[in-house]
Amino acid sequence: MVQLQHFAEDASRDEMLAALKADGAIIIDDVMSADDLAQIRAECDPYMEASANGDDDFTGRLTTRTGGLVSRSAKCRDLIAHKTILGLCDGFLLENCERYQLHLTQIIRLRPTQTAQAIHRDRWAWGTHLAHVEPQLNTIWALSDFTAENGATSVVPGSTQWPDDRLPTPEEITQATMCAGSVLVYTGSVFHGGGENKSDGDRIGLNLTYALGWLRQEENQYLSTPPELAAKLNPAFQELIGYAMGQYALGYFTPPGAPGEHPELSPPQYALGRGDEVSGQLGSPEDFEVLAAQTSGKS
C-alpha cells in the first residue's frame, strides 16, 4: 500500500509541491499548537453542535458540516491565510489563473458508526468539465486525531491522472492518519473520501479549500461574509475570499445609486469602501488583448 508523504512545516516548498503533483496529497505535521486547537474549538464548537446531520449518503447521515467560518472564527481566518498553505497555492494554482480565491470553509464531524464516504474527486463540484486543468487545492486540518479506526480520510495516491470512471482497488487506498494539529493538503483531482468511523468518538476536521479565481466558489463567500462583515477584514484577506477581480473584466459590478453617484464599472473592493484605493482597477488588459489578437478571425 502506497503511503502519503509527511513533511515538517519548514520543509522545502518545492519538495512539497513535487510530492503533491506526484501523489495528489501530502501531510504537514504539527502545524497548529494546543492553544490554536483550543481556540478554534472554542470559537466553532457552538456552531458545530447546532449543525444537523447530513440527509444523504454522500454528505453523511451521521456527519455534520458547519460553514461560514470566515465570519465565525478568528483562528479559522488565521489558517485560511497560513503562509505555508498560501505558498503551496501560489506554486500550484497560479499556473492556471491570475488570482486564486477561497473556495470553501467547513468543519466536518464524523460521528461514531458513520460509514465510509464514496471515493470521489472534489473537482466534480464543477461536473466533469475540468479534466484538463487542476482547479483547486484543498486542506483538511485535523481538529482531533485522525486514525484508521475513527475514519481518517481515505486517499488514493497517484490517482490524479486517472479517468473519472476508474475505481481504485483496496490495495491502492491509504488513509491520512495524523495527529491533531496536522493538515492534509490534497488536489482537486486526487481520489479520496471520508473514512468509516468505527470508534466511539467524533472525528473532526476543518476543510479549507482554494480555487482558481475564474471559477464559481462552492461556498458563496459573498453571502456567508457580506460586505458589511468583509469590510472589517484586512484588504489582502478581503481579496483572498473573493472581493477582487478574478482577472481582467471578470467580477466587476455596477453599484446601485443615482445617476453619476458611483463609477459604472467597479471592482468588488469598491463595495467595501475602498473606492479611492481601487476605483477603475479592473485588472490588466494585456493578456486579454493578446488573446483577442490570437483568436481574431476564428469562428
- As a three-state string, the secondary structure of 61-130 is CCEEEECCHHHHCHHHHHHHCCHHHHHHHHHHHCCCCCCEEEEEEEEEEECCCCCCCCCECHHHHHCCCC
Q: What is the pLDDT confidence band of residue 299, given thresholds at 50, 70 and 90?
A: very low
What predicted TM-score, i.e. pTM, was given to this entire model? 0.93
- pLDDT on residue 286: 63
Of 52-56, 58-62, 218-222, 251-255, least confident by mean pLDDT is 251-255
Q: What is the pLDDT confidence band of residue 298, given thresholds at 50, 70 and 90?
A: low
> Which residue segments constitute the domains of the chain, with CATH numbers given?
5-212 (2.60.120.620), 222-294 (no CATH)
Summarize pLDDT for 73-90 with one digit per residue, the tens. Answer: 999 999 999 999 999 999
Does 291 score more than 90 pLDDT? no
Distance CA 299, CA 297 (A): 7
Cell output for 122: 472534489
Does 289 score more than 90 pLDDT? no
296 burial type by CB count under 10 A (0-12 exposed, 13-18 middle, 19+ buried):
exposed
Distance CA 260, CA 120 (A): 50
Q: What is the pLDDT confidence band of residue 292, given thresholds at 50, 70 and 90?
A: low
Summarize pLDDT for 116-157 with one digit per residue, the tens. Answer: 999 999 999 999 998 899 999 999 999 999 999 999 999 999
What average pLDDT is seen over the chain? 94
- pLDDT on residue 202: 98
Summarize pLDDT for 1-10 with one digit per residue, the tens. Answer: 789 999 999 9
- pLDDT on residue 249: 86
What's the mean pLDDT in 104-108? 98
Summarize pLDDT for 236-249 with one digit per residue, the tens. Answer: 999 999 999 998 88
What's the mean pLDDT in 169-196? 98
- Residue percentage of the chain with pLDDT more than 90: 88
Q: Which amino acid is at 263?
A: P
